[in-house]
Amino acid sequence: MIIRARAPLRISFAGGGTDVDPYPAEHGGCVLSCTIDRYSYCTVVVREQDAINVQSLDYDIVASYGSGEQRDSDGKLGLVEAALKVLEVSGGMDIFLHSDVFPGAGLGASSSMTVALVGALAYWKRLRLNDYDAAELAYRIERDEAAIKGGRQDQYAATFGGFNFIEFFGDHTVVNPLRIGHDTLNELQYRLMLCYTGRCRLSAGIIQDQVERYLRKEEETVRALDRTKKLAGEIKNALLVGKIDDVGVLLQEGWLAKKSFSNKVTDPHIDELYEAAMGSGALGGKLLGAGGGGYLLFLCQFDRRHLVAEELERRGGKVTHFSFDLHGLQTWEVNR
């Protein structure tokens, strides 16, 4: 038996950070995001021998676990080991993992991979999981068992797929799919641009700094989190009525708020790329993920998009094209 699963990566427009505890438990958080045609993949090949073999193409790692063998989840395969433990997986199988982007890109790759793992292993175990079950299980594996710091938005985005306004409360999460008109979707995709900054980042330190500032009730950080939460609703409303230019302006405001979360969010190189894009015809943009590197997202004037791309490339950025994904987690069985 061969089982395959894929889960899409995401771009977030606003609200990131308000999904990280303890903010949502105390104030309620919300994030506006959509998934794109970049994926994490998990393949499970069922074997008769009593061993689990794991191969990660992203980290170029191969590991093998015998029956009942103690696993150490501190390494780069910690997510896999946490998933095997939480899902109580035993028996013979080969697990192959790879993603369309490198870890630390700011597109939610680690959560997407966890969701793909959940999809494939749950299929093998014949578990009947709805989308909420799968997303929450992925969250438990990544945040609780593997102890990777972060919020809840990525697991839900990768599982549900499409455009969603996701609300986070102390004890539950609500996913509100958005019915955005086809003309608006096409125009938005035409005018959005992804640019790799040239470096990846480790988000845990940035998130920890944000949480510590929030726990100290630093006014700048609390005010910024409140503002980005409100911006998620404002961008949602702009998209639903097709006001694309307003989305760009609100992205710019969100970027200013995000930089107040922590002084580790940006650096001179990122600021240089951002200002170059704004000076060439971008209406607004933001750094995706927690910060420190990865991808910048811009919304451009339609007749200056090529100028923005040229200027970013000239300054060391790498512009990449993408499309929206509206399907979320998909799992299937392969006929040999």
Residues with active-site annotation: 154
**Omega before 24 within 30 of 0, i.e. cis:** no
DSSP code per residue over 131-156: HHHHHHHHHIIIIIIS-----SHHHH
Asked if 33 and 10 count as a contact pair (C-beta separation under 8 A), the reply is yes
The separation between CA 52 and the C-alpha centre of its own chain, rounded to angstroms, equals: 28
Asked if 289 and 106 count as a contact pair (C-beta separation under 8 A), the reply is yes
Q: CA-CA distances (angstroms) from residue 128 to 113, 119, 134, 172?
A: 20, 10, 9, 20
Read off the tokens for 315: 């300054």
* 199: number of Cβ within 10 Å: 13
* 323: number of Cβ within 10 Å: 9
Asked if 258 and 228 count as a contact pair (C-beta separation under 8 A), the reply is yes
Read off the tokens for 145: 């068992």
The owner of tokens 């697990």 is: 95
Q: The sheet that has 192-196: what strands, in order across it?
A: 282-287, 295-300, 192-196, 318-320
Cα–Cα distance for residue pair 136/153, rounded to 1 Å: 10
